[in-house]
Amino acid sequence: MKLHQDVCEVLYTEKQLQQRVAELGAQITRDYQGEEVLMVCTLRGACIFYCDLIRHIDLDIKLDFIATSSYGNDTKSSGEVRLTKDLSSPISGKNVIIVEDIIDSGLTLKYLKRLFEARDAKSVRICSLLDKPEGRQTDIEGDYIGFTIPNAFVVGYGLDYAERYRNLPDVCVLDPRIYAK
Ligand code: 5GP
């Protein structure tokens, strides 16, 4: 497919993403044998990853959705995480896997992990498609990581800039001229 005019590089192609997502699904299946797992999708960035991932998990899983906000229309976190949509059921006693698109500062996941632990989940793990360790401001680590990437702003495969580009099939680096405007 032709490179979108607003991106400067493809980091991971659709094919590379599919292969890695299948590996993550297989790893989760092995690690939770005989257990039930609640897969929590963080809206909206993780939605495409989540839909692909759950179909590679051969376990008794349930689905739920949560949304937070800290970026607005910016490429940097405001530093303050707000819950904009809560889960639809209690999670007490459940194994929870939070499915995230990307870990940057780690503030979002620190907030969610604390929230779920305070609600007495049996276990809370993090599965993130991407990890940007250079941006970290907390001690949060992912338990399942698709790819570790440099400190660039990426879009595609569910990730947006000002709600655009989520439908690009590849993970791409957004041209800095777009957000400098
Ligand atoms: P954190 O709280 O770890 O700083 O950021 C987590 C959230 O910030 C992600 O779920 C994602 O929505 C957003 N984010 C962080 N880095 C990027 C990026 O490179 N591209 C996009 N599109 N979103 C990002």
Measured CA angle at 121 (ends 116, 123), to 5 deg: 100
For residues 51-67, give the mean pLDDT. Answer: 98
Distance 34 CA to ligand 1 centre (A): 33
**Residue 139 near residue 166 (C-beta atoms within 8 A):** no
pLDDT at 70: 76
Q: Please state, in angstroms and rounded to a whole number, the distance separating the CA atoms of residues 159 and 148.
A: 15
Residue with the nearest Cα to atom 17 of ligand 1? Answer: 153
> What integer is the mean pLDDT of 89-107?
97
Domains in the chain with CATH codes:
14-150 (3.40.50.2020)
The more confidently predicted of residues 1 and 156 is 156
pLDDT value at position 96? Answer: 98
Q: How many A from CA of 78 to the centre of ligand 1?
A: 11
Q: How confident is the model at residue 73 (pLDDT cuts 50, 70, 90)?
A: low
pLDDT of residue 1: 64
What's the 43 CA to ligand 1 centre distance in angstroms? 12
DSSP-based three-state secondary structure for 108: helix
pLDDT surpasses 80 at 76 = no
pLDDT digits (tens, 9 = 90+) for 15-43: 999 999 999 999 999 999 999 999 999 99
Ligand 1: residue whose CA is nearest its atom 15: 104
pLDDT given for residue 64 in this prediction: 98
Provide the pairing of β-strand 82-85 with 60-69: antiparallel
Write down the mean pLDDT value for the chain: 95
Element spanning 110, H or E: helix 107-118
The pTM score is: 0.95
Q: Name the catalytic one among 6, 58, 86, 104.
A: 104
Instruction: Using the mean position of ligand 1's atoms as its centre, give its distance from the Cα of residue 35 in Å.
Output: 30
Residue ID of nearest Cα to ligand 1 atom 9: 102
Neighbours of 148 (CB within 10 A): 12
pLDDT at 126: 98
Name all residues whose Cβ lies below 6 A of ligand 1: 45, 70-71, 77, 100-108, 153-155, 159-161
104: annotated active-site residue: yes
pLDDT at 74 over 70: no
Q: Choose one of 40, 98, 101 to mutate for the ligand 1 pocket test, by most ligand atoms within 8 angstroms of C-beta.
A: 101
